[in-house]
Structures are given as structure tokens and as C-alpha cells.
Structure 1
């Protein structure tokens, strides 16, 4: 499999396709997004990687500065812009009640999400899916993005119900960003 990674070494989706760079999500004040599990621009611990490569698919704990009082909903998106795909691979999409002020480790698990967390479809099912880059493809960036929205997202841009909508359709329907924060971690397959 390392041969495939080396063959695709220069193929990456790129940062421009991240939710962070979508015109409808590009405004707002700054939220400080942190994790006690890893520092910004540092390596994610293996426990947060996918089970199929030796991790536990355990979402990292996240903390953020208070969202504006008028926040109607929080939108959390985790993407990999280094995936050898046309767009960044979506590892998690979640809508959070504005009263949620942080997430414990594992709070984005599909089987038992934390209170106030609604998990939507990602690139492969629901809930958090940890890093699993192709062997030999090099380090991948995992971008945790949190958006404080003025109004809750109630339907996807395609008109589909949120429960069955594709991640890009949910992101396209979001807007009215009051504040946003970003935390980047790296993972390279050993």
C-alpha cells in the first residue's frame, strides 16, 4: 500500500476546498479552539486515529472560547485537505446546541454522542472517523473547524433532510457566521 501512497504523493485536495474557505462560512469574529490532547500544528496522538490502522477512533477533547450570546447553533467540521480526492475528506460533521461549551474525548462517537450533539453524515458514516492516511502518502493535516451560526441549520442546500444530507450540502446551507475557530493537527501513517 505504501507504493500507492508514493504514487499519489503530489495529489491532494488542498486547503481551498475546506469549509473554512467557503464564502458562506468565511466571516465572523474569532473563537479560540483548543484541545488538551494536542497542540495546534502538532501531531494527533494515535488513539485518535482510525481503528483499522491501530487507533481507537476516539475524537479528541475540544474546548473553545465563549460563542457570541446570539449564537443559534454551533457547527463543527473535521476535514483532511491532504486526501488524494477532489475535495477535502470530511471526517465529522456535527451540529451543537449553543449551550455546549466543550467536548470530552469520545463525545463525537456515533454510538454515544454527548448531550447537545447531533451527528450528521461524514465521508463515511456518522460520527468521528479518525485519521487513516494512505501509507507512504506523507503527513496529513486534520482541520477541526467550529462555526457559531446566527441561525440553526434546518435543511441542506439540496432540500434533503439534515439526517440524510451529504456533508457539502449541509455546509452550503450554513451561514450567518458570528464567530469561528480552527485547530489543525497532523497524522502520518507509520
Structure 2
């Protein structure tokens, strides 16, 4: 696998295809998203990596500032910006009750989500799927994007693939925030 990573070293997803840059998801950057497990731009702990990447697939602790008034639902999206494909891969999508301002470690588990958390499909499946980049490909950036939605997504959107789910957002978000962690397999 290390050879494959080295061969693909200069191939990365187009960051402009990230949810952060989608026209329908533009909003004021008024949510501060943090983690008790890593700081913005820093490496994520190994326990948060995918099992095939040497980890436990344990979603990190996440906390955020109170969402703007009128928030009906929070949308959390986790993407790998450095996957060697044309677009970032979505590792997790979560719909969160707007009264929440924090998720404990493991709250994005598909079998036992935390209170007030629903887990629509991601590119890989439901729930949190931790970092698992190709060995030797270099560090990957995993971005957690949080959106304050003015209207909840309907049940049909929850069964859709991530791009279709994001396209189903009919009103501009009231706010957003982001947090980036890195992970590398050598």
C-alpha cells in the first residue's frame, strides 16, 4: 500500500467541491467548532481513525457555540479533503437537535448515536467512519463542517446520498463553522 500512496502522492480531491464551497451552503461563519480531542489543524488521535487505519473508529468530542436564533436543525458533515479522487469523500453526516452544543466521544456511532443525533447516509455508510488514508499518501485533512439550518431536512433527504442531501437544503443556513483535523498512515 505504501507504493500506491507514493504513486498517488500528488493526487488530491478538488477542495472547491467540498460542502463548504457549495453555493446553497454559504452562510456567516458565526459558529465556533472545537474538539476536546484535537485542536484546529492538528493531528487527530489514533483512536479516532478507522479500524483498518489502526484506530477504534471512535468519533471525537465536538463542541460549538450556541447556534443563531431560528435554528431548526444542525447539520454536521465530515469530509476527507485529500482523498485521491475528483471530490472529497464524506465520512459522516449527522442531523443534530439545535438544543445540543456538544457531542461526546462516540456520539456518531451508527448503532448507538448520542441523544438528539440522527445519522443519514455518508459516502461510506451511516455513522462515523474515521480517517483511513492510503499508507504513504501523506497527511489528509478531515474537516468537520457544522451548519445551522433554518428548516429541518425531511425524512426523504436522510436516505439520500450526501450530495443529494446537501442539494435538498432549500433555505440558506443561518450560520456555519468548521474544524480541521489531520491524519496520516506511514
In the superposition, the TM-score normalised over structure 1's length comes to: 0.94
DSSP 3-state at the match of 1:125:
coil
- Partner residue in 1 for 2:162: 167
Residue number in structure 1 paired with 2:47? 47
The 2-side partners of 1:27 and 1:86 are apart by 25
- CA shift at 1:165, angstroms? 0.7
Aligned length: 185
Instruction: Note the C-alpha offset of 1:81.
Output: 1.0
**Distance of 1:19 and 1:34 partners within structure 2:** 19
Return the alpha-carbon distance in structure 1 between the equivalents of residues 107 and 79 of structure 2. Answer: 17
How far 1:29 sits from its partner (Å)? 4.2
What is aligned with 2:128? 128
Residues 1:185 and 2:181 aligned together: yes
Structure-2 residue corresponding to 1:68: 68
In structure 1, the gaps of 5 or more residues are 156-160
Q: Which whole-Å CA distance do the structure 2 matches of 1:127 and 1:113 have between them?
A: 8
Q: 5+ unaligned residues in a row in structure 2: which ranges?
A: none
Structure 1 segment 93-112 matched on structure 2, within 5 A: 93-112=93-112
TM-score of the superposed pair, with normalisation by structure 2: 0.96
Once residues 70 and 27 of structure 1 are traced to their aligned partners in structure 2, the CA distance between those partners, rounded to angstroms, is 14
Matches within 5 A, 1:29-48: 29-48=29-48
1:107-151 deviation line (CA, Å, top 9, x unaligned):
000110011111011111100000000011000000000000111
- Deviating above 6 A after TM superposition, structure 1's stretches of 4 or more consecutive aligned residues are none
Partner of 1:151: 151
Asked if the contact 1:149/1:178 (under 8 Å) is kept, the reply is: yes
Cα–Cα, structure 1 residues 132 and 29, in superposed 2: closer, same or farther, change >3 Å? Answer: closer
> 2:11 & 2:72 partners in 1: Cα distance?
38
Q: CA deviation at 1:176?
A: 2.0
Q: Which moved more, 1:27-36 or 1:125-134?
A: 27-36
Is the 2:158–2:165 Cα contact (8 Å) retained in structure 1? no
Given that residues 120 and 158 in structure 2 are in contact (C-alpha distance below 8 angstroms), is that contact kept between their aligned partners in structure 1? yes
TM-aligned CA deviation for residue 28 of structure 1: 2.4
Q: Tell me the CA shift for residue 69 of structure 1.
A: 1.9
1:42 aligns to what SS in structure 2?
coil
